[in-house]
C-alpha cells in the first residue's frame, strides 16, 4: 500500500524519482514532519505538504 501511495505521489508531484515520495507518503501516514536537505524537493511539495521542512 505504501509503495502504491508513493508512486501516485511521485506522479502527481512530477518527482523525478519515487524514492523521495516514499518518505513523503510515510510521513503523511505517520502524521509527522518531514525534514530534508533537498531544497528542490521541499519547494516542489511546499503548497501541498506544509509539514515538509528544509534542514538549514
Instruction: Using alpha carbons, select from 14, 1, 11 the residue that is nearest to residue 40.
Output: 14
What's the structural domain count of the chain? Answer: 1
Q: Who has greater pLDDT, 56 or 11? A: 11
pTM: 0.86
pLDDT tens for 2-54 read: 999 999 999 999 998 889 999 999 999 999 999 999 999 999 999 999 999 99
Q: Enter the DSSP assignment of 36.
A: E
Contacts of 5 (CB under 8 A, 6+ apart): 25, 29
Could you list the residue range(s) of the whole structural domain that residue 6 is in?
2-54
Amino acid at each position: 500500500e505504501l509503495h502504491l501511495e508513493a508512486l501516485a505521489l511521485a506522479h502527481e508531484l512530477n518527482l523525478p524519482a519515487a524514492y523521495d515520495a516514499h518518505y513523503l507518503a510515510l510521513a503523511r501516514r505517520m502524521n509527522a514532519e518531514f525534514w530534508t536537505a533537498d531544497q528542490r524537493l521541499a519547494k516542489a511539495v511546499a503548497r501541498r505538504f506544509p509539514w515538509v521542512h528544509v534542514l538549514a
